[in-house]
Structure 1
Amino acid sequence: MARSRAVPAVVIGVVFVGLVGLLLYGVLVSDRADREALPSPLIGKPAPAFELPVLHQPGRLFSSEELRGQPYLLNVWGSWCPGCRVEHPVITRFAETKRVRVVGYNWKDEHADAMRWLEQFGNPYWLVLVDYEGRKAIDWGIYGAPETFLVDAQGIVRWKHVGPVDDGVIADSLVPLLDELGVPR
């Protein structure tokens, strides 16, 4: 008579819970730290040139040259992005300081969805540019949202943050860099 080698359900359950735990750790903890630590090849180099439509004036194209002369924070977001919803109040509070222009970069979104999202959560941006297909995002090295860049008055990328910006990132990373660049408070 052949013996059945069935694995007890308890062992299967323990293995399953362990795998789910490792997956959650990788997604929620280690992946976030790794993404935020990724260096950008753009740091210290000129920001990529672009000409993109303006969300609130779809027939108008806005050029990167029009941003020269003052530093700006470029915040990549989309209405489909859960992390963008998390960081939006932080970006809004920072924009209210008027320390630098905060430019929204609406990425791979539908026009109506982006407009509805800003109507619901508020529009903290000095200007919102749109990259419907994500073609210009490639030049910036954008691979997800949210991502945030600081570009100085000469058009040089000084900082990049991947993932939601929080108050700690603003206080510990962005504000000291703005101080270093001599941007008035």
Structure 2
Amino acid sequence: MTARRIALIVPLVMFLGFVALAVYRMGAPQQRVIVSKMVGKAVPAMDLVGMDELHPGLNDGDLRQGTVTLVNLFASWCAPCRVEAPQLKALADKGVVIHGIAVRDTPENITAFLKDHGDPFRRIGMDPNSKAVLNLGASGLPETFLVDGKGIIRKQYIGQIRPEQVTEILKDIEEAKGS
């Protein structure tokens, strides 16, 4: 093999190896429940204005009322939030209490989103400046926190909730009821 061919083949092989690695990593399952710095700690102080008369606001005291809840961070402009909407509705239909935090959004856009994708939320707090998102240690949208009845964060689900996670989340809720 000539030096010229080697000079052409080596970068090509390296490039193809890089592409293969990238494709492999994209297909690998990602850890969707993480142990963040907030898991095991109390929900941080918050007092979010309600979206409308049907959806009162959300404050940290609402999460210490003795009921295990899911707190879902979402927005009408978030494509993965649309994808997870049926799973949230399925959880709500099974009696799970879900509160929403609408991030950098407007009541009008959220109303249209809920009309199109269903409304699983008992309360929706508006977070126009992402202050609650930052205090919760969230990494993006959507993100969901499992909060026990004492206001302690027990789990943090990163990204959209997939259909196969619904059963797992129901089990996590039952475990949190015992804590």
Bin for the TM-score computed over the shorter chain: 0.7 to 0.9
Output the CA distance in 1 between the equivalents of 2:20 and 2:108. Answer: 38
Match of 1:168 among 164, 169, 174: 164
The Cα of 1:82 is off from its aligned counterpart by 1.3
Please give the secondary structure, in 2, of the residue aligned with 1:181. helix
| Corresponding residue number in structure 1 for 2:106 | 110
The Cα of 1:21 is off from its aligned counterpart by 5.9
Output the CA distance in 2 between the equivalents of 1:110 and 1:13. Answer: 49
Distance 1:163 1:15, change over 3 A: same
Output the CA distance in 1 between the equivalents of 2:87 and 2:46. Answer: 26
After the TM superposition, which residues 28-177 of structure 1 pair with which residues of structure 2 at under 5 Å, given as runs? Answer: 29=28, 32-33=30-31, 36-57=32-53, 62-69=58-65, 70-98=67-95, 100-172=96-168, 174-177=169-172
The Cα of 1:28 is off from its aligned counterpart by 5.8
Superimposed CA distance per residue, residues 119-166 of structure 1 (whole angstroms, 9 cap, x where no aligned partner):
221211111111111012111011211111010111100111001112
Output the CA distance in 2 between the equivalents of 1:154 and 1:39. Answer: 19
After the TM superposition, which residues 5-24 of structure 1 pair with which residues of structure 2 at under 5 Å, given as runs? Answer: 23=22
The CA RMSD over aligned residues, in Å, is 2.8
Residue 176 of structure 2 corresponds to residue 181 of structure 1: yes
Output the CA distance in 2 between the equivalents of 1:82 and 1:107. Answer: 13
Amino acid at match of 2:79: P
Please give the secondary structure, in 2, of the residue aligned with 1:177. helix
Aligned residues: percent identity?
A: 28
Amino acid at match of 1:150: L
Distance 1:38 1:178, change over 3 A: closer
- Choose 65-74 or 132-141, whichever is displaced more: 65-74
Distance 1:37 1:153, change over 3 A: closer
Q: Number of paired residues?
A: 172
Distance 1:80 1:21, change over 3 A: farther
The Cα of 1:63 is off from its aligned counterpart by 2.1
Query: Unaligned regions of 5+ residues in structure 1, if any?
Result: none
**TM-score calculated relative to the size of structure 1:** 0.77
Distance 1:167 1:116, change over 3 A: same
Superimposed CA distance per residue, residues 25-80 of structure 1 (whole angstroms, 9 cap, x where no aligned partner):
545646x44xx2532111111111100011124xx754221332222100111111
